[in-house]
Amino acid sequence: MSDLKHHIDALAQLMQESGLREGKLCGADWSVEFAREAPRPAVSFMPAPAQNGGEAVAEPKPAVAQNGPNVPAGTPITTPMMGVYYSSSSPDAPPFVNVGDTVTAGQVVGLVEAMKVFNEITSSVSGKVVAVVASNGALVQPGETLVIIG
What pLDDT, on the 0 to 100 scale, is given for residue 9?
74
> How much is the pLDDT for 58?
41
> What's the pLDDT at 25?
64
What is the spatial order of strands in the sheet that 117-122 belongs to?
117-122, 108-114, 83-86, 139-140
Full-model pTM: 0.54
What's the mean per-residue pLDDT of the chain? Answer: 75
pLDDT in tens, 41-56: 444 344 444 444 544 4
Q: What is the pLDDT of residues 75-108, one digit of tens each?
A: 999 999 999 999 999 889 999 999 999 999 999 9
Domains along the sequence of the chain with CATH = 2-35 (no CATH), 75-149 (2.40.50.100)
